[in-house]
Amino acid sequence: MSQTTSQSAVIAVIMLVCLSAGLAYDRFMGANGPLISIIYALSMGAPLAAYELGALLPKWRYRLRRMPILVSVPLAEITYLALVCAGHFAAGSSLWGVGLLSDGFTAAAIPSVGVLVYALVVSAVIVSIIKVRDLLGSEVLVNLLVGRYHRPVSEERVFLFVDIVGSTGFAEAHGALRAQELLAAFFAVLADPVATCGGAIDDYVGDMAIVSWPLSRGVERGRCVQCIFAIQDALAQDAQWWIRRFGCLPRFRAALHGGQIVTAEVGVDRHKITYFGDTINTTARLEALCREIGADVLISADLLSRLEDLPPHIHVRALGEYTIRGRGKPVVVSALERRILEQVAA
């Protein structure tokens, strides 16, 4: 299931909740009939869907996602309520304008206290759904709901391990709490590049994030490679903010590998989708190899050979064979580097 499909499923849930809430309000509160209620509900749900797709208030949404939950939840609730009111105004004024509502313009366009309270409850439900989505990820949430991995599944995936450089030294200099703030801000930056490149953040382990794609999607147009340099660009765009906030611009190491793995849903009290097999272990070893040989980005020859349309601004530098722990035969690896503009022009 693609990241786009997973996001679309969450949007569909939002619209379904709004539609059901509108019909329920008409049924129990005696509003203006089901057709009018459907128009109101869809008009009030559309801004929420646009907001979640990033088409509406993208910068504000990005800031909210970087805030602590105790701060972001109330602000998200206020944001949703404002969007609902805007949708209500658009629907009411349109319905009044074409003569489908006999009440005055104010009654049609401005939500009553009862409607606001009801909208507050509905938006709280939607915010809860979104927060669960944010905790698990869109793809993981949908896969858990449909039970795709209730039985183990053998599949091919691409894995990207992203490890922030110097986090231990930062913690020693500034303390563990400050280091955790740095990690949280860094992980927040990953969200948009990963989503844009069709990947999913599967887990955070210490100062490392694990990103994955179904293999066919990850190699298409070199998405898994594009993701790495999109993260670099996202960090560079906010360089001044990082320097003001933490005194440095974070750097990271990254390793890419792909192949056959087994995916399964595990746990009883807390369900989780996890991966088993040599592919993910090899990716972890390649990330450790980055540190040993001083490379920022490494990719296995196995995955490199399957990539489609590697971005032209990326240079591949072959490094040869390396023996890594836990693997019988050597792994052929290459470093990925950004070409300078003069090289691309030539």
Range with the poorest average pLDDT among 62-66, 236-240, 281-285, 310-314: 62-66
Which residues, in sequence order, are bridge partners of residue 258?
158
Write the pLDDT tens digit of every residue in 132-174: 666 555 666 666 666 666 677 788 999 999 999 988 899 999 8
pLDDT of res. 234: 92
Write the pLDDT tens digit of every residue in 264-276: 777 656 666 778 8
Which position has the token pair 């001044």? 240
* Total-model pTM: 0.67
Of 155, 188, 128, 138, the closest CA to residue 276 belongs to: 155
In sign, the C-alpha dihedral spanning 233, 237, 240, 245 is negative
Fold of 149-345: Alpha-Beta Plaits (3.30.70)
For the chain, where do the domains classified as CATH 3.30.70.1230 start and end?
149-345
Checking if the pLDDT of 9 tops 80, the result is: no
Of 49, 130, 31, the closest CA to residue 87 belongs to: 49
Which range among 73-87, 149-163, 275-289 has the greatest average pLDDT?
275-289
Tokens (6 digits) for 314: 């990326």
Confidence band of 304 (pLDDT split at 50, 70, 90): very high
- CA-to-CA dists, residue 142 to 7, 127, 147, 213, angstroms: 9, 17, 8, 15
Which position has the token pair 């903010």? 241
pLDDT of res. 342: 39
pLDDT of res. 147: 62
Exposure pattern of 225-236 as b/e (b: 16+ CB <10 Å)?
Answer: bbbbbbbbebbe
Which residues, in sequence order, are bridge partners of residue 274?
264
